C-alpha cells in the first residue's frame, strides 16, 4: 500500500485518504455510538466486570459500543489497526490505528451522573501517546448531546462551529479540572497533591470524563486540567481537540503527556501548574 504525505512534516497517509475523511468518520462513529448509549441505557445499570480494581467497572454497554465501533471500522477501514479500551485490539497494515473509548466516564454512566462520552481518534505511528501523531478525533458528550471534533492542522469545532480563541488567565483565576485513579494508594497521593493545587487556583472540578475535560479546556469552560495515569483511549481525541483549539497539552519533567501526567491549558498558568505538580511529587510511585 503506497502513501501520500499530509504535509512535508506530517506522517504519511494511505492513498486516497485525507485528514478530512478521517475526521468525518470519527464524528460519524462517535455520534452513532452516542445515540446507541442514549437509547439503550436501562433504568438500572449492572456491572459486567471490573478492570484495574473492584471499583473500576465495565458495563454491558461498554462492550456493546466497542463491538459496534469495531464492526463499523472492519467494514469501512479494514486495513487499519484498532486499540480499544475493552480489549478489541486488532493489528493493521495501513499505518493508522483507531483509538476507541466506548464510554469515557463509566462510573458516571453507572450512576446516571453527568458526564460520560464516546471518544474516537485515529493516529499515525505506534499507539503510544509518547510517539504517535493524532490525525483526527471526536468526543461526543452523550448526556449533553454535543460533539467536539478536530483534524490535524484543521482546528477544532463544537457541534460544527469553530472554537473561538480563548484568552489565558492567571493561575489564581483558573478553574481547574482533574481526575483520580481507582487504586487506593494512588488516590492517597492524589489527595496530597490536590491539597497543594487547590489553594493556588480559582477552584477544582472533578467531572469524571477525561475526554470531556480536555474538550472543556479547548473551549474555555475549564482553564486548566491535570490528571495522572490517563490511558491512550482517554486522551487521544480530547488532546487533539485541545491542541487544535490553541491549548497546550504537556507532561511533567519534559515527558510527553500521558506517560505519567497530562496537563492542559493556556499561558503561563500551565507552567506554574506543572511546577506545583512536580514539587508535590504528583508522578511519584503509588504509595510513596
pLDDT, tens digit, 9 for 90 and up, residues 48-93: 655 555 444 667 888 889 999 999 999 999 999 999 987 768 999 9
Contacts of 248 by beta carbon, 8 Å cutoff, 6+ apart = 264, 265, 266, 270
Find the range with the poorest average confidence among 79-88, 132-141, 145-154, 178-187: 79-88
Q: Is the pTM higher than 0.85?
A: yes
What's the pLDDT at 45? 67
Q: Which domains does the chain have, with CATH numbers?
A: 3-162 (3.30.540.10), 171-279 (3.40.190.80)
Which range, of 46-60, 162-176, 206-220, 268-282, averages the lowest pLDDT?
46-60
pLDDT at 1 over 70: no
Q: How far apart are CA 215 and CA 72, in angstroms?
A: 25
Q: Is the pLDDT of residue 131 over 80?
A: yes
Q: What is the 3-state secondary structure (H, E, C) of 17-79?
A: CCHHHHHHHHHHHHHHHHHHHHHHCCCCCCEEEECCCCCCEEEHHHHHHHHHHHHHHHHHCCC
Spatial separation of the C-alpha atoms in residues 272 and 268, rounded to whole Å: 6
In this prediction, residue 4 carries a pLDDT of: 40
Q: What is the pLDDT of residues 216-236, one digit of tens each?
A: 999 999 999 999 999 999 999
Q: Please give the pLDDT value at position 10.
A: 54
Based on the number of CB atoms within 10 Å of its own CB, is 12 exposed (0-12), middle (13-18) or buried (19 or more)? Answer: middle
Q: Which residue has the cell 506530517?
A: 10
Measuring CA to CA, which residue among 165, 140, 168 is closest to residue 155?
Answer: 165
CA distance 145 to 239: 20
CA atoms in the 13 A half-sphere facing the CB of 177: 22
Amino acid at each position: 500500500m503506497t502513501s501520500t504525505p499530509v504535509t512535508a512534516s506530517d506522517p504519511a497517509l494511505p492513498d486516497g485518504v485525507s485528514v478530512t475523511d478521517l475526521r468525518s468518520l470519527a464524528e460519524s462513529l462517535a455520534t452513532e455510538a452516542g445515540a446507541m448509549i442514549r437509547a439503550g441505557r436501562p433504568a438500572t445499570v449492572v456491572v459486567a466486570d471490573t478492570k484495574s480494581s473492584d471499583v473500576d467497572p465495565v458495563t454491558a454497554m461498554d462492550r456493546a459500543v466497542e463491538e459496534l465501533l469495531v464492526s463499523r471500522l472492519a467494514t469501512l477501514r479494514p486495513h487499519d489497526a484498532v486499540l480499544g479500551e475493552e480489549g478489541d485490539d486488532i493489528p493493521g497494515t495501513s499505518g493508522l490505528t483507531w483509538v476507541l473509548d466506548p464510554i469515557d466516564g463509566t462510573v458516571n454512566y453507572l450512576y446516571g451522573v453527568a458526564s460520560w462520552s464516546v471518544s474516537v481518534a485515529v493516529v499515525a505511528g505506534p499507539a503510544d501517546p509518547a510517539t504517535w501523531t493524532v490525525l483526527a478525533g471526536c468526543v461526543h458528550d452523550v448526556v449533553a448531546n454535543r460533539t467536539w471534533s478536530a483534524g490535524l492542522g484543521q482546528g477544532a469545532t463544537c457541534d460544527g462551529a469553530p472554537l473561538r480563541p480563548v484568552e489565558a488567565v492567571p493561575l489564581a483565576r483558573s478553574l481547574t479540572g482533574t481526575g483520580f485513579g481507582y487504586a487506593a494508594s494512588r488516590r492517597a497521593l492524589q489527595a496530597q497533591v490536590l491539597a497543594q493545587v487547590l489553594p493556588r487556583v480559582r477552584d477544582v472540578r472533578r467531572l469524571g470524563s477525561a475526554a470531556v475535560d480536555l474538550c472543556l479546556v479547548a473551549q474555555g469552560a475549564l482553564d486548566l486540567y491535570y490528571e495522572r495515569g490517563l490511558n491512550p483511549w482517554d486522551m487521544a481525541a480530547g488532546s487533539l481537540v485541545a491542541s487544535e483549539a490553541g491549548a497546550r497539552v504537556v507532561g511533567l519533567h519534559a515527558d510527553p503527556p500521558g506517560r505519567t501526567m497530562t496537563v492542559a491549558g493556556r499561558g503561563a498558568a500551565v507552567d506554574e501548574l506543572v511546577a506545583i505538580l512536580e514539587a508535590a511529587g504528583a508522578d511519584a510511585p503509588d504509595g510513596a
